[in-house]
Amino acid sequence: MNAPFLTFQQVPIYLENLPTGLVCSFLSAKQFQLFLTFVLGLVNDVLVGSNMCHFLMYTAAIPSKPIFKHIPKRGMLVFDVAQFDGILKKITEFSNALLTNPDTTFLSLTELEISRLGAVIKILKDTSHYHVSRFADVDIVLLLKLLRSWPLEMIFPVIDLLRMIVLHPGGASILLKHVEDENDILMEMITRVATNSSLVPNLLTSIRVVANLFKNSSYHNWLQKHSSEVLDSFSSCFSSHNKNLQLSYSTMILNYAVLLIEKKDQEGQSQVLSAALEIAEDENLDSDSRFRALVAIGSLMLDGLVKRVALDFDVENIAKVAKASKEAKIAEVGADIELLTKQD
């Protein structure tokens, strides 16, 4: 046989007490090329006075694959830090304000309801027991009642509390029942908030609720089904001067990229790509927001179904600009995307 052989004479393999059919593979992560090793045969000459033998190996070099630093993105990003005491304090403050106005007194919370919210927060603080702690259905219903009935400028702490509840398995499960029925509370909340986009706290907290939903696979079908509506509702957020809002929006975009790649949803991927490109090409935006948008673009091009669409939208120029950035991570992901544009 004319195939090249490799003998491990410098690194002998001792086979004492081992089966003769032993397969040995040699991998080197440091080499420029990766090698696929296939066992052709075993030399039948055992050296005198030892149980040593050498394997003859057929080594076939395969073309190297590009190594990317930041793509594709795996897993979802969430906003899991909250000032719980501040949230309860603000809800109580708003309730007292409603109580003092004769026209809105009926909207204020009773002492029992405030106490129940305190119990909800106690459960949320105790993250080590999320696997066993439970919410009462009436607690979630109370929050949803506030979302629907309170004045728009007062609902942001309620939304913020909901953001944390969806990260709790039990809380997310109860909420899902109110999402899957005909009165979809999440779309109702998003629509209500988006139609009054001047109230930044509402936008910020509601986008983070959506971002956190990606952590729970039970919501993936809902997120895919409503992707177009959700993206359209928050589309103006990238141009906000509020960096927290920019980052929240780009995080939602990145999570959507990961999900819709998994779902092989080409139409949804195209819409996410369009939103991500809009963020990435604006050099005046917060660098963390641009970075997440660029990671979304690269992931969609590498693992998704929209690489050709990205090339048609001049992603090569966006990658070139990003690669020249003084921000290391922006430059790195720009290089990743540039490398992608050169592949067939």
DSSP secondary structure, 136-161, as one string? -HHHHHHHHHHHHHS-GGG-HHHHHH
Domains and CATH numbers, the chain: 5-62 (no CATH), 84-341 (1.25.10.10)
Listed in sequence order, the DSSP H helices in the chain are 84-100, 111-125, 137-149, 156-165, 169-180, 185-194, 200-213, 220-225, 227-233, 243-262, 266-280, 287-303, 307-312, 315-323, 328-341
Q: In this prediction, what percent of the chain has a pLDDT beyond 90?
A: 77
Residue 62 has a pLDDT of: 56
* Angstrom distance (rounded) from CA 217 to CA 224: 11
* Angstrom distance (rounded) from CA 193 to CA 201: 10
Q: Is pLDDT at 3 greater than 90 in this prediction?
A: no
Report, as an integer, the average pLDDT of 303-328. Answer: 97
Q: Which residue has the higher pLDDT, 137 or 31?
A: 137
Task: Write out pLDDT tens, residues 17-52.
Answer: 444 444 344 434 434 344 444 434 443 444 444 444
Predicted TM-score (pTM) of the model is 0.82
The alpha-carbon radius of gyration of the chain (Å, integer) is 28
Residue 294 has a pLDDT of: 98
Report, as an integer, the average pLDDT of 273-292. Answer: 95
* Angstrom distance (rounded) from CA 272 to CA 103: 44
